[in-house]
Amino acid sequence: MKQDHGKNVFIAAIALIAALCSGAALSAGAPTPSFSLAWSEYPSWSTFGVAHEIQLINGKKGALGPIEEKWGVDIELKEAEYDPCLVMYGSGKCDAACITNMDALNPSLTRPSVAILPNSTSFGADALIVTKDITDIKQLRGKKVYGLAKTVSEYCFVRNLELLGENEKDYVFTNMDPAAAALAMQQKQRGFDAIIVWNPFVLETLNRRKDVHVLFDSTSIPGEIIDMVVVAQASLDQPGGKAFALAVIDTYYAINRRLADPKTADETLIALGEKFSHLDLPSMRKVVRQTRFYSTPEEGLKILTSPSTQEIMKKVSAFCVSHEIVPKAPTIGFGDKAAAPNAAFRLDPTYIEEYLKQEKSK
Amino acid sequence: MIRKPIPARWSLALGVLSVLVLLAVYTGLSLWQHHRNPEDTTIPTWSQLAVGVKQILEPSARDGQRWLVADGKATLIRLFLGLLCGIAGGIVLGLLMGCYPIIEALLVPPLSLLAKEPPTAMLAVFFVLVGTDTEMYVAMIAFGILPTLSQTVYLGVRDVPAELLDKASTLGASQIEIIWSIIARAIFPKIIDVVRLSIGPAMVYLIAAEMVCGDVGFGYRIRLQSRLLNMNVVYPYLAVLAAFGFTLDSALRLLQRYCCPWYVSGEK
């Protein structure tokens, strides 16, 4: 479908440049290639929803905001819960999705995928919350720890056990939706002495029940849980695919500039948190500390190129294999397509580099 | 012509045909999807499905449990406990409402309101009120089916011809005898009907609750495996659910035909 539009991309691009040069208002004559991005409410991913609200981009199919006009590509935003985002992306119902490095591995086995933009890392946003009588991890042996199985929650739990020198087999990780687990703990239900959940449930539970505390959280594994935008290789290969990647990157950093600017910081923060949870401004400030944003292209590049990220991906992949999240380890590549042509999942810094180059040449 | 009968052989053949068409459409869909992406797991081929079925039936490498056995056991226990409570409560309340106007006046208004409340929408309320253990599933199913069930029983009791009751009274039957020997017998086939119709909603509530807070069970497995895109596990689970519902429904119909031939032959 998008390929049909291929020939028109050049025409559209030329028309766009001409229109921009002459300063005339652009009226979209030729159809613009359209790509879809699935996202769910999460501090660093809600940036795309906020960008739509303040009309930097227009998330509806066929309508263009200024950033989309700049790159000559239509971004269609598809908002859904996190699980449906995974399923949508895995089954090819969208071109790109906001998912974590860990959850990107399984879909990449059947749909070669490229991480173009790291958004943030969990730095306290995933936490093990226990009742006050529990002060040592050993007290949890044989007790049920509630969290969503085979997700970053379980990863965070298992990694922290490793760091503490504990054996995973001594612990009983029990599946439960984080919202339900948080609710049960807030209600002081019997047996709910330990939950491992993510924000907003961490902050909500700590706010509403004063006799519980965090035993450990993701601050002990910084940079291991990475929230990112992942695009299908096939979509990137289509005409306009690269422009789509660049427009997504541009949108993300545009919102980050607003967060850094004291004039717009608070309202942007509130807008990000509005649908995430009913947390007030001080809590939202905490949320963005615990979900540490990679707010500049330089930081993003550092993550995509650093050797430590390669080590982390190995670790995450091994975890996914041993916990039956993936049937086999996907080949993970770093760099552009030429550098790793056979990689199922590739972390590619060249899109952010290209964005930086184009920004500097302006 | 409207309602013109067709031969029995035809109706059997057409039934088989429609199932075959369904399977053929699925096969085509999966072939097309694998043509677009040979690695696809979202619309599995029959051989991928076979792998999934094997995975369900064999002991898992991690804990030695057979998925289908563990999940089936958990889900069945929850379902039957829930159905038992809901049906028993519904029959008792329905009988009482149908027999005694005081109870009728007392219970009909709240039950008609509650009958319109989807339990899945009240999931969080159940967590808050009854916790998240087995009693939560049981409460949810029981609460979900009880209002409609009791209303149906109540209407059934009201439909029992007055002359039957009068005659029994004049013959000296006590209230208990009338309820047991006349009313209960008259409405028994209707109870089977409404139980049959309750199984569907009961499964909806149970699966929805298991998806959120189960650590074993059909809802848990389906949500987990959907997230992992293992549709070759999800589809067999759905097939088992369908087969289970169909079997239970047929069994109840047989029971009805066996126990109340007068009622069944009256239909059609």
Residue contact A176–B124, C-beta within 8 A: no
Which one-letter amino acid corresponds to residue B121? A
d(CA A45, CA A32): 24
Residue contact A190–B226, C-beta within 8 A: no
A84 with A212, same domain: the answer is no
- In this predicted structure, what is the pLDDT of residue B41? 83
Residue A187 in any domain: the answer is yes
Residue A22 in any domain: the answer is no
Q: What does the block give as tokens for A71? A: 């790159």
Residues A234, A238, A240: CA angle, nearest 5 degrees = 130
Handedness of CA A115, A288, A216, A142 (dihedral sign): negative
d(CA B244, CA B255): 17
A190 with A325, same domain: the answer is no
Residue contact A325–B228, C-beta within 8 A: yes
Residue contact B128–A183, C-beta within 8 A: yes
How big is chain B by its Cα radius of gyration, in Å? 23
- In this predicted structure, what is the pLDDT of residue B119? 87
Q: What does the block give as tokens for A134? A: 């529990």
CB-based contact B107:B168 (threshold 8 Å)? no
A259 with A118, same domain: the answer is yes
Domain boundary among the residues A196, A220, A244 is at A220
Chain A and chain B share a number of CB contacts under 8 A equal to 69
- In this predicted structure, what is the pLDDT of residue A22? 46
- In this predicted structure, what is the pLDDT of residue A1? 44
- In this predicted structure, what is the pLDDT of residue A30? 62
A232 with A304, same domain: the answer is yes
- In this predicted structure, what is the pLDDT of residue A25? 41
Residue A101 in any domain: the answer is yes
A93 with A242, same domain: the answer is yes
Task: Return the residue of B nearest to A82 by Cα.
Answer: B227
- Ramachandran class of A55: left when φ > 0, alpha when ψ lies in -120 to 50, beta otherwise: left
Residue contact B215–A174, C-beta within 8 A: yes
Q: Tell me which chain A residues have a C-beta less than 8 angstroms from the C-beta of B213.
A: 176-177, 180-181
Residue A15 in any domain: the answer is no
Q: What is the ipTM score, two decimals?
A: 0.77
Query: Per the structure, how many domains does chain A have?
Result: 2
CATH 2.40.50.140 corresponds to the domain B56-266: no
Selected residue of A40, A187, A320, A345 to mutate for chain B interface (largest B Cβ count, 10 A)? A187
Half-sphere exposure of B71 (CA within 13 A, CB side): 26
3-state secondary structure (DSSP) of residue B188: helix
Dump pLDDT digits (tens) for B58-79. Answer: 988 777 889 999 999 999 999 9
Question: What residue segments make up the domains of chain B, in order of their start?
Answer: 8-36, 56-266
Half-sphere exposure of A195 (CA within 13 A, CB side): 29
A58 with A202, same domain: the answer is no
d(CA A115, CA A96): 10
Residue A20 in any domain: the answer is no
Selected residue of B32, B43, B60, B127 to mutate for chain A interface (largest A Cβ count, 10 A)? B127
Q: Which residues of chain A are modeled with pLDDT < 50?
A: 1-4, 16, 19-28
What's the per-residue H, E or C state across B101-138? HHHHHHHHHHHHHHCCCCHHHHHHHHHHHHCCCHHHHH
A37 with A67, same domain: the answer is yes
Calculate how close chain A gets to B200, using CA atoms only, in Å.
24
CB of A183 within 8 Å of any CB in chain B?
yes
Residue contact A175–B212, C-beta within 8 A: no
CB-based contact A347:A309 (threshold 8 Å)? yes
- In this predicted structure, what is the pLDDT of residue A344? 95
Half-sphere exposure of B28 (CA within 13 A, CB side): 6
CB-based contact A157:A130 (threshold 8 Å)? no
- In this predicted structure, what is the pLDDT of residue B267? 52
Residue contact A325–B41, C-beta within 8 A: no
Residue A273 in any domain: the answer is yes
CB of B45 within 8 Å of any CB in chain A?
no
Q: Which residues of chain B are modeled with pLDDT < 50?
A: 268
A102 with A236, same domain: the answer is yes
Residue numbers of A between 319 and 348 with CB closer than 8 Å to B: 324-325
A99 strand-pairing partners: A228
Burial of B252 (C-beta count, 10 Å sphere; 0-12/13-18/19+): middle
CB of B64 within 8 Å of any CB in chain A?
no
CATH of residue A213: 3.40.190.10
CB of B212 within 8 Å of any CB in chain A?
yes
- In this predicted structure, what is the pLDDT of residue B265? 62
A175 with A92, same domain: the answer is no
- In this predicted structure, what is the pLDDT of residue B268? 45
d(CA A352, CA A177): 35
A208 with A230, same domain: the answer is no
Least CB–CB distance from A184: residue in B39, B41, B132: B132
Domain range enclosing A265:
32-123+224-360
CB of A150 within 8 Å of any CB in chain B?
yes
- Say how many residues make up chain A: 362
CB of A313 within 8 Å of any CB in chain B?
no
Domain boundary among the residues A220, A240, A272 is at A220
Calculate how close chain A gets to B230, using CA atoms only, in Å.
10
Least CB–CB distance from A90: residue in B62, B131, B229: B229
Dump pLDDT digits (tens) for A166-198. Answer: 999 999 999 999 989 998 999 888 889 999 999
- Say how many residues make up chain B: 268
CB of B35 within 8 Å of any CB in chain A?
no
A132 with A187, same domain: the answer is yes
A85 with A144, same domain: the answer is no
Calculate how close chain B gets to A85, using CA atoms only, in Å.
9
Q: Tell me which chain A residues have a C-beta less than 8 angstroms from the C-beta of B29.
A: none
Residue contact B41–A110, C-beta within 8 A: yes
d(CA A182, CA A176): 10
Task: Return the residue of B nearest to A189 by Cα.
Answer: B131
Half-sphere exposure of A303 (CA within 13 A, CB side): 27
Q: Tell me which chain A residues have a C-beta less than 8 angstroms from the C-beta of B226.
A: 83, 87
Q: How far is CA A338 from CA A177, A333, A335, B37, in A?
A: 41, 10, 8, 22
- In this predicted structure, what is the pLDDT of residue A8? 60
Q: Tell me which chain B residues have a C-beta less than 8 angstroms from the C-beta of A91.
A: 40, 42, 229
